[in-house]
Amino acid sequence: MGNPKHTEVSVARQSPQRPDADEPELDDTTDPAEPDEADEADDTPRASADRSLWDELRIDPVEIALPAGTGFTLRAYRPAGSLTPTDVTERDQDDPFLARRQVIEEEDDETVVILDEELAEEFADSDEDESSRRRRDSATDADATAEDDETEAEAEDVADEADDEEVPVFLSHRGKLLLFKTPESLVSFIRSGAPNDLSQLDSWNELSERVEPADIAPLDEDTYELDLVVENLRGGHDSWDSTLLIEAGEVARDLSYALRLPAVLDMLSAGSSLDNLDEALRATANGGIGAFMGRRRLKKIGAQTASLGWRTIVGKISAVVDWRD
């Protein structure tokens, strides 16, 4: 992410004129044209904060608004093979529905075999037949081995590509997103040395030494208003805010991947109704003939279905937030 552009504004200076004899000269110590430095600092927009720290360390401050409030956190993108995913064991144990499902799956995996003497004799006879069959199939197995080797090699190539793909990682811990109400509280946590998923980055220690509250100034593109999504969708097709909804989809995908929320990933996966909504919104935002087609596709998407889907997504994300003051 590049540094924001700064525009220099030059002010033309006029040549000083001799004051008239009847007019008193102004005291050089009280020049009304000099602006107060404190006023200049107050008027500086947040987005104009120095971005060199974040660009150098490849970490960004992020602001997320949820129904429960607005908070600051951090996000980075790194190759998947270099990251250890967040540990969701403790989080899932706290969820009674997930815990119950895990117990059922474990019970289904257990196999209990009870044999009596007659069944044992039948299995002994079948073992001889099985040996004959295996000898007949040995030649076929040899031919299949070469094909399996090729398939395995292709799978390894795909795995290598997946490891090289950059994926999101947030300031999180044990499957919980850490959100801070103020920049000061976020910086205090960063400096504290408390365990978190971003501490595995090689640039984390340097960040903890250099970051200041004034640096926590997310760009507009890193500011997300998930609290407005459902209400906007309920307003109907004509009131849908493309920018709001597209950005919400981007951060929801990042969060669901980083926090290991498979249900949310499925709802936003390719071919889903919410993914179709996202593609149609992007088409309308790009303009041209694609915008016309995008508007036609949007009209086929039910406002109630979209709002209910996003209500579920926002709820699942909110459920894995750890608010820090």
Q: For 253-290, write each residue's pLDDT tens digit.
A: 999 999 999 999 999 999 999 999 999 999 988 776 77
Read off the pLDDT band of 116 (50, 70, 90): low
Q: How many CB atoms lie within 10 A of CB 20?
A: 8
Report percent pLDDT > 70 for the chain.
63
pLDDT given for residue 255 in this prediction: 98
Lowest-pLDDT choice from 120-124, 138-142, 159-163, 233-237: 120-124
CA distances from 37 to 41, 49, 242 (A): 6, 16, 40
What is the chain's alpha carbon radius of gyration, rounded to the nearest angstrom?
Answer: 30
- pLDDT confidence bin for 300, thresholds 50/70/90: confident
Most confident of 5-9, 93-97, 109-113: 93-97
Task: Give Cα separations from 132 to 28, 123, 146, 175 (angstroms).
Answer: 110, 14, 23, 53
176-180/321-324 β-pairing: parallel
Burial class (CB in 10 A: 0-12, 13-18, 19+), 188: middle
Q: Which of 267, 283, 276 is CA-nearest to residue 301?
A: 276
The whole-number pLDDT of residue 5 equals: 40
pLDDT at 298 over 60: yes
Residue 324 is inside which H or E element, if any? strand 321-324
Beta bridge partners of 274: none
Pair 192, 167: CB distance under 8 Å: no
Highest mean pLDDT among 13-17, 83-87, 105-109 belongs to: 83-87
Q: What confidence category does residue 23 fall into, taking pLDDT thresholds of 50, 70 and 90?
A: very low
Classify 193 in phi/psi space as left (phi over 0), alpha (psi -120 to 50) or beta.
Answer: left
pTM above 0.75, yes or no: no
Q: How confident is the prediction for the chain on average, in pLDDT?
A: 79
